[in-house]
Structure 1
Amino acid sequence: MTTSLDCLNLASMGSERTDEELMLAYAGGDMIAFETLYRRHRGTLYRFLLRSLRQRADADELFQETWSRAVAARERYRPEAKFSTWLLQIAHNLVIDRFRRSRPHASAEETDLLFSRLDAPESEQPDRVLSEFEQRRRLQLALEELPEEQRVTFLLRMENGLGLEELSEVTGAGRETVKSRLRYALARVRARFES
């Protein structure tokens, strides 16, 4: 019989193992390993999907689909790349499929609603909060103007800290293509802030 102390020990062991070890353990039937992976990566994955798709309902749907596909592929998983890269590659492929079917566009009202939900520290001066709000708004507009491939590559780099090799793996594009996409995306974002 498993006691609550045993469960606590198993849960703490899961936090010490690498993502790759956890995924292999999950493939072997260890549900706690999956729960640990889910806790570690749910925020990063959801932010990537929300910023890529800009529609909360679409992000919710693809978030669930990404995890479903990870679960379905658990027995075929091989730690040839970092788990986070593998998971983001699944999500990226789903995003690309969604764009191919119909390209979504966030309205100004939806964007404003999303930014209004972001917590601003209460101690800041109203003009500084407005300035930061304007910066976030400009960034969102700049992201919306980027071509799909540049936006996804930019978000993967900036939010997930992926290097060129990892970006290449996730997007399926060559290293030089990834560098070009990042360079063009950064130039467009800078131009938006200078105008």
Structure 2
Amino acid sequence: MLSYAQGNSSAFESLYKKHKGGLYRYFIRQIGDLQLAEDLYQETWGRVIKAASNYESSAKFTTWLYRIAHNLLIDHVRAVKPVDLFSETFTEEQDSECFLPSDELSPDRVMEVNVKASLLKHCISLLPTVQKEALLLNMEGGFTAGAIAEIVGVTLEATKSRIRYANQGLKSCVMNKWQEVQDER
């Protein structure tokens, strides 16, 4: 980022290529709306470009980038407070983008894996917003609890609690939903 701030446009391309997938998935997983995710994603990169000349390397670039993304999400949620976009479930179109079964799996096993993936996505969508964000940043983004605390602006202990409660809630939800599926068979 420091190189980009000094006018090296290829440095921005490197940053963009390295972080584009994870950042876009962050927005998709948080709000589940492809168009809104694209808008917020573009706005994040726009803010990175605008802030380049003032960038200080007091934190890792990734932490800074996701802090911008987090703040944009918060701003959006505040703007549409009556509508809880975070609880929307994934559409079938999004589900098919996320899972491509292996050719080695039997049809029954493919169905089971698809059902479990669907249950997991549903259970993630039921998590409280702060737990879901911490969990996704940790598991999908690969961020440590310390980095997540910096991104979302809470204490390390609060972040650890959010991740722990999210994991507990997911485990319980998936087990209960899987049992319901088994009972229906």
Query: Could you tell me the TM-score, scaled by structure 1's length?
Result: 0.83
1:112 corresponds to 2:80: no
Aligned residues: 171
Q: Which amino acid aligns with 2:19?
A: H
Residue 156 of structure 1 deviates from its aligned partner by 0.4
Q: What percent of counterpart residues are identical? A: 37
SS of equivalent to 2:52: coil
Contact kept in structure 2, 1:115 and 1:133, CA below 8 Å: no
Mind listing any 5+ residue stretches in structure 2 that lack a counterpart?
177-185
| CA distance in structure 1 between the partners assigned to 2:171 and 2:78 by the alignment | 28
Residue 111 of structure 1 deviates from its aligned partner by 2.4
- After superposition, the CA RMSD in angstroms is 1.3
Query: Could you tell me the TM-score, scaled by structure 2's length?
Result: 0.88
Q: Which amino acid aligns with 2:124?
A: L
Cα shift readout 1:73-108 (whole Å, capped 9, x = no counterpart): 10111111111111111111111222222221435x
Q: Which amino acid aligns with 2:65?
A: L
Q: Which amino acid aligns with 1:186?
A: N
Mind listing any 5+ residue stretches in structure 1 that lack a counterpart?
1-22
Q: Which amino acid aligns with 2:142?
A: G
Residue 187 of structure 1 deviates from its aligned partner by 0.8
Q: Which residue of structure 1 lines up, in the alignment, with residue 183 of structure 2?
A: none
Cα shift readout 1:48-90 (whole Å, capped 9, x = no counterpart): 1110111111110111000001111101111111111111111
Residue 191 of structure 1 deviates from its aligned partner by 0.6
| CA distance in structure 1 between the partners assigned to 2:72 and 2:116 by the alignment | 29
